[in-house]
Amino acid sequence: MEIGLFQDASSASLYAADIVGALISFKPNAVLGLASGGTPIKLYQELVKRHKVEGLDFSSVTVFILDEYLGLGKENLNSFYSYYNENLFSHTNLNRSRIHVLDGKIEDVKEHCKAYEEEIRKAGGIDLQILGIGSNGHIGFNEPTSSLVSRTRIKTLTRQTCLDNVASFGSLTEVPQHAITMGIGTIMECRACMLLAFGGSKSSIVAKAVEGPISAMIPASILQMHPCVQVLLDQGAATDLEMKEYYEHQVQNFKENMLLRMRA
């Protein structure tokens, strides 16, 4: 695990866009795993900009989204499908047939999850997974106590996660109680991964995930076992880290390390 401390969320997002851009340049048919939420919005804005200004070409790129609220259809403005459409899909030349989403309205969820796993396999696996971290340590919607080898499935959301998302829904009763999410085992099979966390409100959970023991109570901590993970933090999210000085030093060759490992 490599920890990158950046001046602010913007510079971390520019770095993440550099990595995604480099991956697409050397592998035009790259497979990306995408996270929603507030954290990666600047990254997506930057990717859209690079597509429009520099011609970054998404036409052969395949994407898989991490999760979706159960019960919300594509047309629902709070669905993650709407989020990606608004922030990325509709502003790039991503080929619709290469966009893989979870359907919150699906009747046979079990079959849908199985098919999603199969689609990831058929696409050759995920080259680069983008992740955020929930205030309770979740990745995707793998809430604390999720099996560390879980696959794509339904999860019940914790009260904390519902509270964290209340702003988009207006009231707690409107927040869906369940979601479909890639499992932790599914996420761990990606070839490389970037976890982004910004702001002081994430500092305590980031320290637990990065420097604490691996535990199903902090699902993101399993990333310590992944051979190619970079954690991109702004100053606020890094506040509680014990080995901050070491990470500051480690930032040299940070990009080269990631690119080398992704090419391997």
Q: What residues are annotated to the active site?
A: 67, 136, 138, 143
Q: Which residue matches tokens 């399993």?
A: 222
Question: Cβ closer to ligand F6R: 17 or 35?
Answer: 35
2 residue type, one letter: E
Minimum distance, C-beta of residue 253 to ligand F6R, in the bound complex (Å) = 27
Residue spans of beta strands (DSSP E) within 45-197 = 62-65, 67-69, 99-100, 128-131, 153-156, 178-181, 192-197
Minimum distance, C-beta of residue 24 to ligand F6R, in the bound complex (Å) = 21
Burial class, 263, CB count within 10 angstroms (exposed 0-12 / middle 13-18 / buried 19+): exposed
What are the tokens at 129? 């997974």
Backbone φ/ψ region at 157: left (φ over 0), alpha (ψ -120 to 50), beta: beta
Minimum distance, C-beta of residue 28 to ligand F6R, in the bound complex (Å) = 25
Question: Cβ closer to ligand F6R: 77 or 243?
Answer: 77
Question: Cβ closer to ligand F6R: 59 or 147?
Answer: 147
Minimum distance, C-beta of residue 46 to ligand F6R, in the bound complex (Å) = 16
Residues that bind ligand F6R (CB under 6 A): 35-39, 66-67, 132-134, 138-141
CB neighbourhood size of 121 (10 A): 10
Nearest Cα residue to 1 out of 206, 163, 178, 158: 206
Minimum distance, C-beta of residue 67 to ligand F6R, in the bound complex (Å) = 5
CB neighbourhood size of 18 (10 A): 15
Q: Is 23 helix (H, G, I), strand (E, B) or coil?
A: helix
- Start-to-end CA span in the chain (Å): 17
Q: Is 115 helix (H, G, I), strand (E, B) or coil?
A: helix
CA quadruple 75, 76, 81, 87: dihedral sign: positive
Minimum distance, C-beta of residue 30 to ligand F6R, in the bound complex (Å) = 19
